Amino acid sequence: MVNIRDIGEQGLLIKLQQFCPSEIVGDDAAILAMTPGKSLVVTTDILVDGVHFSDRTTSPFDVGWRAAAANLSDLAAMGASPLGITVGLSLPGELAVSWVEQLYQGLTSCLQPYHTPIVGGDITRSPTITIAITACGEISPHQVIQRATALPGDAIVVTGVHGASRAGLELLLHPEIGQNLPPSARDYLIKAHQRPQPRLDVLPILQEIWGFSPCHLAGMDSSDGLADAVLQICRCSRVGAKIERQLLPLPPALNQLVAPEKALEWTLYGGEDFELVLCLPIEKAQPLIQRLGDRAAMIGTITKETEVWLIDCSGTYRDQKLTLSQGFQHY
Amino acid sequence: MVNIRDIGEQGLLIKLQQFCPSEIVGDDAAILAMTPGKSLVVTTDILVDGVHFSDRTTSPFDVGWRAAAANLSDLAAMGASPLGITVGLSLPGELAVSWVEQLYQGLTSCLQPYHTPIVGGDITRSPTITIAITACGEISPHQVIQRATALPGDAIVVTGVHGASRAGLELLLHPEIGQNLPPSARDYLIKAHQRPQPRLDVLPILQEIWGFSPCHLAGMDSSDGLADAVLQICRCSRVGAKIERQLLPLPPALNQLVAPEKALEWTLYGGEDFELVLCLPIEKAQPLIQRLGDRAAMIGTITKETEVWLIDCSGTYRDQKLTLSQGFQHY
């Protein structure tokens, strides 16, 4: 096995530059053309070995894929189209060069459908594998999606199922469970965890629905969980929400895998589904859901009161107030 | 002492958001306006505890200062004006909150003269303190400074002294040496290491000298050493260079601190002086040096042959061929 110390920083850089457009990399910084009239959108994410990924559940290819997906998802959550990403790597000298190459293969495979290049980066020695990605995108100022603009009466739309990534992680950590699931359902859940899709495909649909008029649209992505997204939007917009338990789109096999209460927990707090949670007028929500297909759903409405309630129209469960402290925290 | 685990990720984010413009942060990504007709410039840098800084020589304030300076220097090296930076932090839970606040004070103190905001970031748990900075800037396409455009006959200009940062590091690591230096000289060298200045001030001078005509200008910054900068420019431009030993601008006290051969080594290979190394027609070099002041100097010329030679006009020393492998490597 060839490790990084064998070929050195320059040797590794030469290998990784093959993944980058040669006309862009090789200087102190990368130059990217912008579409006239658009604003710049920037987002950054850090992934740490043992915190965000581990060899038990994630191949280096999938670490790269998910790192790219998370950043593209943040751009999608703003309504922005990607221009390029930078990759900052901190790596132990004894790490295999092939690990880093597979990481880059994962990054570029996720980026490729969006024609998004890796435009630069930095490599340094560290005892802990750390991957820092910054994504740049561009946006028309009248098509921005922000957290702080939800209004009472808005429909809350999710672009797909929630809880699948969390279930996939569980299947990877405990291969002995879920033996009753059909193989296709297992694969679906595991793939949801390993190869999430940033929902950049939602943006042209939103553009069609609004045409040339400015969007009234609040939202963010559900990377930290569906409940977190609704709570953050409500906090920033100084509003509340009612979420209907029966309307939450669960992955089909989830109720076969775990009890209903666990399925609900994963759906609300599992995280890493990388869907968009959007608040918009109900007359725009309906065509959006229709265009997105059957996994997209209206899950509730924005309210004037500043609390977020999970309600049950069927009357089986008591109403439940959701709070941020139930969500995921790194520390 | 309050540490990060005591206040959690959200608590730390709230403290750090005070250093960021509230209208920009708080969403999945930051939105920055661009000047019409300009291109985007992006650069990224990783700093790792124990590799790039240590408590022995660098306070958290200075770690922040140098991280910001290094990234602004990369923008200056392209000819770009800064728009904003993102900060990705990987931190152990037991780290003092005050350490992180001082880091941010250092970052913002360095950025402040250039009106450059911190526009976002990410915080995550890690056993190793790691700081990932990405800087975004903008540039007029006809004023780009790149490595690959040096031409035989160009003058090689440095915007200031080299070797000062390396000397300052030595004084911090070994306080017992350099006792013969005047205190002002000691302070000068230590400050060169702790608080380097990105040479963004050079850009308006270049603009004045060229006026509205497109710049013929190659260059980069000397963050990895002066020899490295000359060698990288020559490699990318497929040219060589002759550097005159007597013309290298050393910090005034350096020859009092160490023997001439060591002083030369630090000047060529010390690194982290964050000056610009520029290749330009000689008739433009002279007004540039005049405007920059007495620390700027023309140190040699670009040649057609693809080797880089250190020559000595006085005939005291033998000519010496410079190579990249003598320079600094992380692994």
**Per-residue pLDDT reduced to its tens digit, B186-205:** 999 999 999 999 999 999 99
Q: Nearest by CB to A331, from B43, B73, B93: name it.
A: B93
Amino acid sitting at position A164: A
DSSP letter string over A227-279? HHHHHHHHHHHT-EEEEEGGG----TTHHHHS-HHHHHHHHHH------EEEE
Query: Starting at the edge strand that comes first in sequence, how are the strands of the sheet with B320-321 ordered?
Result: B218-221, B276-280, B155-158, B297-303, B240-244, B308-311, B320-321
Query: Domain spanning A4-140 has what CATH number?
Result: 3.30.1330.10
The pLDDT of residue A60: 96
A126, pLDDT greater than 80: yes
The CA distances from residue B138 to A78, A135, B40, in Å, are 21, 16, 5
- A302 strand-pairing partners: A241
* Interchain proximity A44–B74, CB inside 8 Å: no
CA angle at residue A223 from A142 to A107, to 5 degrees?
A: 90
Residue B158 and residue B49: Cα distance in Å, rounded? 30
* Interchain proximity A127–B123, CB inside 8 Å: no
The pLDDT of residue A212: 75
Amino acid sitting at position A65: W
* Interchain proximity B43–A120, CB inside 8 Å: yes
The pLDDT of residue B48: 94
**Sign (positive/negative) of CA torsion B41, A222, A146, A238?**
negative
Query: Starting at the edge strand that comes first in sequence, how are the strands of the sheet with A297-303 ordered?
Result: A218-221, A276-280, A155-158, A297-303, A240-244, A308-311, A320-321
Q: Nearest by CB to B121, from A44, A119, A146: name it.
A: A44
Residue A269 and residue A271: Cα distance in Å, rounded? 6
Query: Domain spanning B145-326 has what CATH number?
Result: 3.90.650.10
Q: What is the DSSP letter of A157?
A: E
The pLDDT of residue B331: 54
B96: left (phi over 0), alpha (psi -120 to 50) or beta: beta
Amino acid sitting at position B291: R
Structural element, H or E, at residue A124: strand A118-125
Per residue in B70-127, pLDDT tens? 999 999 999 999 999 999 999 999 999 999 999 999 999 999 999 999 998 899 999 9
What is the pTM assigned to this prediction?
A: 0.91
* Interchain proximity A130–B132, CB inside 8 Å: yes
A26: left (phi over 0), alpha (psi -120 to 50) or beta: left
* Interchain proximity A28–B220, CB inside 8 Å: yes
Show residues of chain A in contact with B326, CB under 8 Å: none
Burial of residue B35 (number of CB atoms within 10 Å: 0-12, 13-18, 19+): exposed
Q: Who's near B4: CB < 8 A, 6+ residues apart? A: A331, B12, B91, B92, B93, B94, B95, B96, B97, B100
Show residues of chain B in contact with A9, CB under 8 Å: 329-331
* Interchain proximity B5–A331, CB inside 8 Å: yes
Phi, psi (deg, nearest 5) at residue B83? -110, -35
Show residues of chain A in contact with B67, CB under 8 Å: none
The pLDDT of residue A327: 52
Confidence grade of residue B326 (pLDDT, cut at 50, 70, 90): low
Residue A111 and residue B35: Cα distance in Å, rounded? 27
The pLDDT of residue B188: 95
User: Which tokens belong to A129?
Assistant: 């594998």
The pLDDT of residue B280: 96
Task: Tell me the ipTM for this assembly.
Answer: 0.88
* Residue positions counted in chain A: 331
Residue of chain B whose alpha carbon sits nearest to that of A8 = B331
Q: Nearest by CB to B330, from A36, A125, A128: name it.
A: A125
Show residues of chain A in contact with B141, CB under 8 Å: 31
| Interface-testing mutation among B10, B39, B42, B203, with chain A (most A C-beta atoms within 10 A) | B42
Closest CA to B32 of B139, B138, B104: B138
The CA distances from residue A308 to A163, A224, A311, A321, B255, in Å, are 19, 17, 10, 6, 69
Q: Who's near A134: CB < 8 A, 6+ residues apart? A: A42, A43, A44, A45, A71, A85, A86, A88, B42, B44, B86, B88, B132, B134
Residue of chain B whose alpha carbon sits nearest to that of A223 = B28
Percentage of chain B modeled with pLDDT above 70:
98
The CA distances from residue A132 to A52, A88, A91, B1, in Å, are 12, 5, 12, 29
Residue B270 and residue B223: Cα distance in Å, rounded? 9
Domain ranges of chain B: 4-140, 145-326
* Interchain proximity B44–A86, CB inside 8 Å: yes
Residue B100 and residue A78: Cα distance in Å, rounded? 28
Per residue in A258-302, pLDDT tens? 999 999 999 999 999 999 999 999 999 999 999 999 789 999 999
The pLDDT of residue A329: 46
* Interchain proximity A88–B134, CB inside 8 Å: yes
Whether B138 and B38 have beta carbons less than 8 Å apart is answered as yes
